[in-house]
Each structure stands twice: as structure tokens, then as C-alpha cells.
Chains A and B, each alone.
Chain A
Amino acid sequence: MKYMLIMRATDEAVEASQEVPFEQIIEAMGKYNESMMKAGVLLAGEGLSDASEGFVVDFSTDEALVTDGPYGETKELFNGFWILEVASRDEAAEWAKRAPLGRGSFLEVRRVTGPEDFPADNEWIEKEAGWREEQAQRGQD
């Protein structure tokens, strides 16, 4: 199964990270990534640049609106992710616990869906055929 580890940082985490030399952060992250690569579980991972370079597309009105984002009110920012392939939820949790993150940081761990999560095509065709039949019978009643 695949899991996505989503890094979320609060203001507290951002402040704390500013006290640590950048090289030290890079090294810790590098070692963590390497350990997952060598264990054969790391499929992908990326870090995200500062939120000020990003924007938000808001769908709450009829027309989708591009805004600078409600970053001012947001308590936690999504700033990177890893995708792991592991045998169990527990293994995903164990890898997540090893991330070199500090106070104020959160890792949200979510299972990534695969083809097995969706029914086979023919099954839907069958289902749809069943619904059509049902509707046709209702029409006759």
C-alpha cells in the first residue's frame, strides 16, 4: 500500500526552524530520505517553496477565483510530502515518526488510493444496466 506523508508546519515550527542552521536541516532531511530510499520504500517526495510564491484557487463562487490565499488566517501550511510504499499502516506510522521534524510540525499520513479501490469497469457497466432496467420497469408501472 502507498501512503502520503504530508508535512504541515505552524508558525511555531517555522520560527523554531529559523534558529537551526540551514545546512543542518538539509543534512537531517537528506539522511531521512536516504534511509527510506535504501529501505526500498520511497517512491516520491518533494518540498514546497514559500507560500508567498503560491496562490489559491477558490471555488466558493460560481466562477473559480484566483487569490493570494487565506494564508493570513491559516494555522498550518502544507510544505512538502513523501509517498511511501509499505506493507502496513504501522510501517507508514513508524517511518513518519522518524521524520526530522520538531515542535509545531505535523505529519498527516494518508493512504494513496490505487486501482483496487475502484470497481472493475465491467462491474459498473453491469450496475448501470441494472439501473436502466429498474428505471424502465418503473416507467411501465
Chain B
Amino acid sequence: MADPWDVATARPDDRSAVERAVAAAWRIDSARIIATLARTTGDFGLAEDLAQDALLDALRQWPGDGVPRNPAAWLTAVAKRKAIDGWRRQQRRDDRMAEIAVELERAGEGAADAPPWDPEAIDDDVLRLVFIACHPVLSREARIAMTLRVVGGLSSEQIAHAFLVPTATVQQRIVRAKKTLKAANVPFEVPPYVELTDRLGSVLGVLYLIFNEGHAASSGSDWMRPELGLEAIRLSRVLAALLPREPEVHGLLALMELTAARFPARVDAQGDPVLLADQDRRRWDRGRIQRGQHALTRADAIGRGRGPYGIQAAIAQCHAIAADFEDTDWDRIVMLYETLGRVAPSPIVQLNRAAAVTMASGPAAALELIDEIAASGALSSYHLLPATRGELLLRLGRTQEARVEFAAAAALSTNDRERALLEAKAAGD
């Protein structure tokens, strides 16, 4: 179906005050509206369509009629009426339809301020929504698009803008994702306990991908797209409220807050990246560091140990509390990377461990680790492997070899600004 925002207006700048108010209300309420509709209709894809249809009505009617006092109740009632109309056309008159019809009548008599959802069930319903948006039958791109649109309340246009793809691409991903979920008969449910850890892993993975896309844009000319990172943090807070007893949810939130604390210092006045060692730590966001440490404490207090996100958060914490780069507790960071390598082995972790070893034990020891990774053939197309090797060679006084590595790294980098930085190093600047 058409994207309501596109029908209403071609460019976001053209939006009227009412349209902007609709968008804000939608951001706040849409997940709960869609979750409620999915519960009442028993069909997630239909629920999403109905909610988008109701939004389209709102964008047409509210500029003339004014914003209703309870936007969520208005949108939900309109969507439910649309469901009944659809079922009537299909000549389907079952119990579900009768139930919704009675509900709609009752809602008309109810208090104007009452939320249109069951306060006892809504948290579970939103959680079901999160799990369905990140379902393993969906591709990585589809999970990201579904999460941002259905749980985050962003428009396809906003998602497209954030990921530098055409709006039509995002719309296709959503349409296809809904078809895939329908074809696979995916139920609208919180996964049973035995599957929970795996399924939660998929949800956390999606949130972290969104965060990283904002934190180090993998393509294009912008070094960072902080809005996306901040949305990932907000969604992690939503999840932490829904699953307060899952340590890795708090661990991921801690990792994001502690990493985002450095955002203000990560680029200079010209928009060029500033490395951790050179960052002005006075610009780090103290509030975020505090919230990150608090989240890590909450994760630890559950008493089930730290998972990969919790360990990475602990590493980020070491940086956050260090007065400067040299003063950082590098031995502890090396130890944390070793733990991380055992819990979640990956060549990227080895690479980061090598960087920490440089600081703890010097470049020669780190170069040995880097050469091990290179010999294994892993990360052969990852620009940070030659970039790190280059830095180490430079510190060992092997300038010519270092330049060759920087040139190799520049050729592999997909971020314009980063490539420029590496090319300059290859030229010996």
C-alpha cells in the first residue's frame, strides 16, 4: 500500500503544524496501536495495514477538523471500523468481528481520556510486536526496516533517508516482510522460554545494527548519523522496561549509552573523524556515561553474568572513566577482550584486543597478534586490519611498510571521509 506520509506531502519541510503533530503522536502511540490491532484481529500484517490506513485518514481529516483529544483512541477506532468493513466485504461474520463491533460501541461510551488498549496486556503485546519485527525468517534489512517502522513509528521515508536508499526500497522491504511472515505462519507471540535467548539475540542484534549505522555510517559521506543511534538507544530503553530481568538488554543499553557519550567529540569542526586517543574528553556526555554505568550495574545485579554486550559495555566503561588515553586501564581492557573472545569468538574482537595490547604491552606484541589474524585469512577485505597494521609499523619506525598498509586500507574503506584520512597517511602526511 501507499505510504501515508508520501500521499500527504512530498517533502517533510512542507508539513503543516497539524501534520507534524500527527507525526509526533504517531511516533508515541503507533507501536501500541498496531500491537492492539494485531491482538484483536489476530493478524499482524492486517493490523499494520489497518493502522497505516487510519493514519492516512488522520492526515486527511485532522488538518480540517483539528487533532482529537485522544489521538490513539481515534486511530484505533477508525482502524477497527476498517477491519469490520473489510470482513463484511469478504462476507466473514465470525466471533472476532462480533467482538470488535461490541468493543467499538462500548468504546464510544467510555471515558474520552482512556487509552484504547488493555493496560494489563499492552506491554506483552508490544513485546510480541518487537519479536515479530525481528523474526529470524526475515532478512537483516527487513528486520531493521520493520523494527524502525512498526516499533519505532518512523515513516518509510525517514528510514530510507537514514539508510541512504530510495523510499520505494524500504516500502518493498516492508511489504515483502509482511508476506514472508504470513507465508511462514508466524504467530503473534512472545517466544516460548526455550527459544527466548535465541530470539532475544536477534532483537538485540537488530537494535545494535541500527545503533552502529548511526554511530559509524558504513557508506556515504556522513561520518555519523546520530539520530539513528539515538533511536536505537530509545528502543533499547523500551525493551529494558519490557524485559527487566534480561541482563543482555541492560548490557546493550549500557554499551550504547557509553559509546554515544563520545559522539560530541568524535568529529572535529570540519566534520573529520577524531580518534579516541585525540578526543577532547571534556566534550563527552557525562549524563550518558552515568546512565550507561547505571544500566551495566542493573545488568550485573541480575546475577547471571555478563554476555557479549555486557562485556563490551565494560570495555566502553574503562574508556569513559579514564582521565586520558594513556591513563586508561589497558590491562583490564586486554583481559575483557580475552573474555569476550571466549564468549563470542570473532576476528574483529581479536583485532580490538591487538589494539589494546599495543597500549598495554607495546606495538611489537600487538603486531604478532595482527599477523596471526592476517595469516588466518579472516578480515582480508576489512580496512581496519591493514589500517591497524599500518599504525603499529609506524610506531616501530617501519615507515615505508606502514604506508603500503595505509594505501591498502584506503582502497578497502567505503566511508569517504575515512578513506581521505587513510590516503593522507599513505602519502606520509
Map CB proximity to A onto B1-40 as digits: 1 under 8 Å, 0 otherwise. 0000000000000000000110111011000000000000
Closest to B265 in A: A115
Q: Which of B94-102, B235-243, B360-368 contacts A (4 or more CB under 8 A)?
A: B235-243
A37 CB within 8 Å of chain B: yes
Bound Cα distance A39, B269 (Å): 33
Most chain B beta carbons < 10 A, residue from A119, A120, A121: A120
Closest to B253 in A: A40
Contacts across chains A and B counted by CB atoms under 8 Å: 61
Which residues in chain A, 38-79, are within 8 Å of chain B measured between CB atoms?
A: 38-41, 43
Query: Taking A87-B230, A94-B24, A95-B28 as contacts, is the C-beta distance between A115 and B238 under 8 angstroms?
Result: no
Closest to A88 in B: B24
B21 and A94 within 8 A (CB): yes
A119 and B269 within 8 A (CB): yes
| Chain A residues bordering chain B, tally (CB within 8 A) | 22
B25 and A94 within 8 A (CB): yes
B307 CB within 8 Å of chain A: no
B269 and A91 within 8 A (CB): no
A121: chain B residues at CB < 8 Å are 280, 282-283
Chain A facing B: main interface SS: helix
A90: chain B residues at CB < 8 Å are 20-21, 23-24
B234 CB within 8 Å of chain A: yes
Closest to B236 in A: A40
By a beta-carbon cutoff of 8 Å, the part of chain A in contact with chain B is 37-41, 43, 85, 87-88, 90-91, 93-95, 114-116, 119-123
Q: A38-B123, A91-B27 are in contact. List 19 more A-B contacts (CB 8 A).
A: A38-B242, A39-B234, A39-B238, A40-B236, A87-B27, A87-B227, A87-B230, A87-B231, A90-B21, A90-B24, A91-B24, A91-B28, A93-B21, A94-B24, A95-B28, A114-B264, A114-B285, A120-B269, A121-B280
